[in-house]
Amino acid sequence: MRYVNFYLCAVIAILVIACENPEEIVPEEVKFPGVDAELKEYFQRFEDEAATRGINVDLAAIGITGVILEIDETHVLGRCSFPRAQPNRVTVDQTFWNRGSDLFREFVVFHELGHCFLLRSHLEDQLPNGACSSIMRSGNGTCLDNYSSRTRNFYVDELFESKPRFVVNR
Amino acid at 52: T
* C-alpha dist (Å) from residue 164 to 112, 148, 159: 14, 24, 10
| Residue 63 neighbours by CB under 8 Å, 6+ apart | 34, 87, 88
The helix or strand, by DSSP H or E, that contains position 102, with its residue range, turns out to be helix 102-116
Q: How far is CA 51 from the centre of its chain?
A: 11
pLDDT band at 28 (very low <50, low <70, confident <90, very high): low
| More confident: 12 or 113 | 113
Domains of the chain: 31-169 (3.40.390)
Q: Determine the pLDDT at residue 88.
A: 86
Q: Determine the pLDDT at residue 81.
A: 86
* The model's pTM: 0.77
Distance of alpha carbon 124 from alpha carbon 117, whole angstroms: 20
Mean pLDDT: which of 64-68, 87-91, 164-168 is highest?
64-68
Closest C-alpha to 116, from 152, 161, 83: 83
Provide the terminal-to-terminal Cα distance of the chain, rounded to the nearest Å: 47
pLDDT band at 102 (very low <50, low <70, confident <90, very high): very high
46, 59 in Cβ contact below 8 A?
yes
Q: pLDDT for 106-117, tens place per residue?
A: 999 999 999 999
Q: pLDDT for 36-81, tens place per residue?
A: 999 999 999 999 999 999 999 999 998 999 999 999 988 899 999 8
